[in-house]
Amino acid sequence: MSTLTELSNGNSLYSLDSLFCPCGGSHAVDDHWKYVEGMPEDPVDLIDDLIKMGHYSDDALEFGKALTHAGYKKALLLRMINQAPPEQRDLCNELIKLAGGLDEAFAAAFGPNATEFFSDAIRLGKFRRRDFLIRVAAAAAVVTMASCGNNNNQQAQTSTNANTANLEKKDLTIGFIPIVCSLPIVVSETAGIYQKYGLNVTLKKMPNWAAVRESAIAGELDAYHMLSPMPIAISMGLGSSAFPIRLASIENINGQSIAVAMKHRDRIKGPADFKGMTIGVPFPYSMHNLLIRYYLASGGLNPDQDVKIEIVPPPDSVAKMAAGQIDAFLMPDNFGQRAIFEKVGFIHMLTKDLWNGHPCCAFAASQKWIDQHPNTFRTVNKAIIEAAAYSNDPNNKERIAKETSERKYLNQPEQVIAAVLTGKFENGLGQNFDVPDRIVFDPYPWQSFAKWISSQMVRWDLMPEDKAKFQDIANQVYLTDLARELAKELGQNPPSEATRVEKLKFDTFDPAKVDTYVAEQVKQFGV
């Protein structure tokens, strides 16, 4: 006896000959299958065809949600399958068995994660087909039933529409610091990308990184622009109470510079020349702090003894240099370039020359918020990743510089932002440069970034050595797999690996040997 026969025997509900075609169409039940005749029997191919044909519409999903009575839902599916040609009936019968029952099949079609599942099925396709075989086929069968009555007027749904169907929250507040590193967050608004994904985002300009941290912990923001070490530090309770933060995507690589006051133009040739100076960085748990320490140590200086490292909010950095309160700073590039614009400083070094491809800022959210808004989190992260690609396109950079120079965004002269984005700039000493990768918007969160950051936090006593579980930190905080998934959904080609060997100016970082890296640095540089 077949599974379908077993399930339907003894239940008069399944023998209602007068039952109208469950799809809601004006045709007879027997004619229903004309609409799906000749479609692929392979479930993965079937779901692909159905989505391309527009069957996975919002109307179809709403139809499914309206069928709340479990028995009636089963009756509809069984009725449909019993009217099917033998080969399709056998296929569905086998799929139901493998699924573990009709409830599981319906969960795939109309459960709370149905839309996410449909997109996953397309994205993963042949690569993980066995994982999704059952749910794909069951969902395809039911949604075809639900939607064929509107076949004549349905339009193919875009991936954007599919992603917005299950948003738990559409009105979001995202905090950002007005620096070029925040551009994927800002450009998502100026280019209409948030709107495209069904999101209504309010961008909240924050005065400094400490304010971002405190607002995040207090739950005052839905998501945030953060320095790439911050999610690690906050999650581990370094400098604040412990609060799990997840780094969803990197906003920019490179894009920082060491700027020096003009009064020192004849003095500074290398790292040892900074001895005795006051140097501004934006936050203790920043790439800026870690990179300036890395640079100074390469010249034999102890950053905690031979210089004074002062925390300075990025918007205050140029004014403090002009007032003589700091001698130099390592800040986002728009402030290095602004120091030149104001004729108060010069660029000594781009940080890409210390580590080409290093991370700087990131898009992040709390684990608590992600758990409460999983679909919204995926969607807003996807928007940020799309905006990063948009920002990286040379054809868009002049437009971006103009649109984001406004007071409500970066509040910087347009030419300053353009100099950073295009890499065509004067260094304050009369020398002109053309560095196309001065800043790059690459959202991929390499876990080797997390491991290097953690190693340097140990090196400079920002993280207790006994808490430095490098692989665990990287796995928990940096959502590399998700970023890869979303990039693929956007048609991008992200790396398949989670880590890579990082080549810095003075050494090479192997993420497989992170436990010995700090000891090797101390041996090499003496600090």
pLDDT of residue 85: 55
Query: Model's pTM, two decimal places?
Result: 0.71
First-to-last C-alpha distance (Å) of the chain:
77
Q: What angle do CA 254, 259, 265 make, to 5 degrees?
A: 140
Mean pLDDT for the chain?
Answer: 81
The pairing of beta strand 171-176 with beta strand 200-205: parallel
Q: pLDDT-based confidence at 31, cuts 50/70/90?
A: low
Identity of the amino acid at 412: Q
Decide if 332 contacts 438 (C-beta within 8 A).
no
- Return the structure tokens found at 378: 């995926």
Q: Given this model, what pLDDT does residue 449 score?
A: 98
Joined together, the tokens standing for residue 414 give 């347009």
Residue 114 DSSP one-character state: H
pLDDT for 42 = 53
Please give the helix or strand (H or E) that residue 248 lies within, else none: strand 245-250
State whether CATH 3.40.190.10 applies to domain 171-252+359-412+431-498.
Answer: yes
pLDDT interval class at 63 (50, 70, 90) = very low
Q: Say if residue 136 is exposed, middle or buried (CB neighbours under 10 Å; 0-12, 13-18, 19+).
A: buried
pLDDT given for residue 95 in this prediction:
55
Percent of the chain topping pLDDT 90: 69
Residue 399 in tokens? 């437009």
Strand order across the beta sheet in which 345-350 lies: 308-311, 278-281, 328-332, 256-261, 345-350
Residues 162-221 have pLDDT tens digits of: 345 589 999 999 999 999 999 999 999 999 999 999 999 999 999 999 999 999 999 999
Instruction: Tell me the pLDDT tens digit for each residue of 73-118.
Output: 444 455 555 555 555 555 555 555 555 565 555 555 545 444 454 4
Q: Residue 72 has which token pair?
A: 């009636």
SS3 85: coil
**Which of 24-28, 68-72, 184-188: highest mean pLDDT?**
184-188
Note whether 307 and 277 are within 8 A (CB).
Answer: yes
| Domain layout of the chain by residue ranges | 3-163, 171-252+359-412+431-498
Task: For residue 161, name the pLDDT band (cuts at 50, 70, 90).
Answer: very low
What SS3 state is found at 350?
Answer: strand
Instruction: Give residue-wise pLDDT tens across range 498-509.
Output: 999 999 999 999
pLDDT at 172: 98
